Amino acid sequence: MWRILLLGLSGFIGLSTYGQIKKHYTVENSKTFDKVDITLSGGSGTCFVRPTPNSNPVNIYGKSQSQTQNPACQSILVDRVQQVSVNFLEDRVDQSPVKKVSFNVFGSEEEDEGDQWHVYLSKKKPVLLNLNYGMGDAYVDLSGLSVEKLKVNTGSADVKVGYVSGQYNQQEMDTFSIKVDLGELEARHVALSNARNIIADVGFGTLFLDFTDNSKVKSMVTATVGAGSLIVNATNATNPIIIYIQNSPLCRIKIPKGFTEIRKNVFVNNNYREDANNLITFNVDVTMGNIIFKSN
């Protein structure tokens, strides 16, 4: 096993196998910090983020085609917070067609021969998670983690975020922030995040939000849509929902039959109660894109 254990420092160690460099990076657990603030910046490869029962807060395994370029890593301790930054840099331009991976809702994966990064986050300590993907693909499973804040930025990448095993976030999440430029972001089982604030900014891409699970907290969803699309699945939603829409003549709005318009551009579902402690409120501002709510 080739590995390097790091506390307050960072780095990768690699071994060349069949033309690929295999690398392993670990932040070792310690009583000197209470939580981990981790930033992952992806290149054009494929990144998987998953929970682990391992006590080490961060474990990263990678396969790279590059013989010369290692991911850039930093790890420093600030006010009992271990701040970890990993940038999966690349030093080559792949002229071949973009390769995809088959990944059935995070179930099984059929890996291609491109760069692969597998990030395992421990359930033992709270996490502040910042994910930045310019290109490529990313699959993020947050099941059972203790995420305080989550921020996902996608340029032209395709990103899937979800709670595969159906386990709620271990604590209330302060903010779940999403920015989609040209790519696609699919967020499944959003209610399991226990997020009080969900902020979405959609440029020309597509954002899919799934609210089919029961939320335990009151959530405010603030979405701004330019020329892209926001699709919200509220099929069989048990939570009370209210939708406020600020639109323009250039956009398209679709609200299903299960919602009632109580005043202009304000819609509620059949479970709506103003004083509900698990009310989900949508404030949507759209310029020239598409807003689609799905329900029974």
- Per-residue pLDDT tens digits for 180-196: 999 999 999 999 999 99
Give the whole-angstrom CA distance, residue 148 versus residue 172.
7
Q: What pLDDT is stored for residue 44 in this prediction?
A: 73
Q: State the DSSP code for 39.
A: E
Structure tokens at 22: 């295999």
Over 90: is that where the pLDDT of 290 sits? yes
Structure tokens at 14: 């690699």
The model's pTM: 0.84
Instruction: For residue range 130-174, list pLDDT tens digits in order.
Output: 999 988 899 999 999 999 999 999 988 999 999 999 999 999 999
Q: State the DSSP code for 234.
A: -
Give the whole-angstrom CA distance, residue 98 versus residue 43.
13
Alpha-carbon Rg of the chain, whole angstroms?
20
Q: Are 57 and 68 in contact (CB under 8 A)?
A: no
Structure tokens at 44: 């054009």
Model confidence at 98, pLDDT cuts 50, 70, 90, reads very low
Give the whole-angstrom CA distance, residue 167 versus residue 29.
23
Percentage of the chain beyond pLDDT 90 is: 66
Exposure string over 71-86, b if 16+ CB within 10 A, otherwise e: bebebeeeeeebbbbb
Which residues on adjacent β-strands are paired with residue 49?
Answer: 119, 140
